[in-house]
Amino acid sequence: MYNAETYPIDSMDNNNLDPHGEDVVERIKTGKYDTAPFNRTHLIPPFYQYREAFVVAPTYHLSSCKIEKVMTTITDAIFCYLTNTTEFLADNRTISTEEYHIRFCLDQNMHVDYEKLHSILGDSAIEYAVVRHPIERFLSGFIDKCINEAKKVEERCFGCKGDMECFVQKLYSAMVNVPTTNSTEYDYEVAHFAPQTWYCNFKDHLHHYVILKFKEGAEGASALAKEHETIYRQAGVPDNLLKEIYAQLLVGGTRHSTSGTAARVDARNTLMDNKSLLLRVTQMYYYDFVVFNFSLPILV
């Protein structure tokens, strides 16, 4: 059985995403990477350009790429605070309590094309993205979408009614279909569970990003807040704004977490106790593990 304690959740503090040599990413792109013992034909392919969504703070030449189920709501709030500080505070908003559908800035400061984004920010741009351990991201998404949202929207998660095995098999089929048909059409389930390499135009611009790794729990929130602070300080964000962002990241990181909840524990047990199910999830996110240097599950 997979041991949930065997994988590291640590940060990448530079643009070289591959500790084994940048050529690994190139070998993945060209199909020369050795995926053994996993059968390449069963793996969801990497670097499909499915979604690009960026929040921008032009004053600071700063942007963050949004990956679903990885701090998207709080990142929106941070960039809203950076670009509309006075209005944000006057409306009695706080970063950690923003909610997606009623967020203050809605779709302001948003871009959906990397090349256009880069032309706006210029060569001195600081571009970052936060990635998450694929299994933790999947479990978080499953609780949020397939358990909580499905109580209100019956067809959510393909109408599987909280059945993880049903959902995973249908999600896998949907993921196979997207690159096969060369589709970029929005699909709710695919958009929220797609491999992280499908976002941000990582295929062409992975080396341009500072990559942070999301960390679970209160200690993880503290470490991640410090990493954000370092990036924002480098971008020239004033100390008073830095202090508020740091404090709100500490609160928000705990407030939005499902880690340790009964539902999350149950979902984890369902996944980890089912070898074929865990294998299928690993096949969906295999290249996320490799590209972003997360340890693969041990399947015995």
pLDDT tens for residues 211-269? 999 988 888 889 999 999 999 999 999 999 999 999 999 987 645 556 668 999 999 99
The reported pTM is 0.88
272 domain-assigned: yes
Q: Which residues of 252-262 are buried (b: 16+ CB within 10 A; e: fewer)?
A: bbeeebbbeee
Residue 17 DSSP symbol: -
Question: What torsion do the CA atoms of 131, 271, 171, 162 make, to the nearest 10 degrees?
Answer: -110
Mean pLDDT of 278-289: 98
Residue 58 located in a structural domain: yes
- Is residue 297 domain-resident? no
Residue ranges making up the domain that contains 68: 23-291
What's the sign of the alpha-carbon dihedral 235, 192, 195, 114?
Answer: negative
User: What is the predicted pLDDT for the residue at 216?
Assistant: 85
Q: How many domains is the chain built from?
A: 1
With vertex at residue 222, the alpha carbon angle to CA 218 and CA 224, rounded to the nearest 5 degrees, is 115
Tell me, what's the pLDDT at 235?
96
Decide if 18 is inside a domain: no
Helix (H) or strand (E) holding 56: strand 54-57
Look at residue 4 and tell me if it is in a domain: no
Question: Shortest CA distance to 142 belongs to which of 170, 114, 117?
Answer: 170
Q: Domain for residue 186, yes or no?
A: yes
Of 284, 245, 193, 207, nearest to 60 by C-alpha is 245
In a domain, 243, yes or no: yes
Per-residue model confidence as pLDDT tens digits over 69-117: 999 999 999 999 999 999 999 999 999 988 877 888 887 888 888 888 8
- How far apart are the C-alpha atoms of 226 and 219, rounded to whole Å? 11
What separation, in Å, do the N-terminal and C-terminal C-alpha atoms of the chain show? 6
Q: What is the pLDDT of residues 10-48, one digit of tens each?
A: 333 333 344 444 688 999 999 999 999 999 999 999 999
The confidence score (pLDDT) of residue 100 equals 78
Whether 16 is covered by a domain: the verdict is no
Q: So what's the pLDDT on residue 300?
A: 54
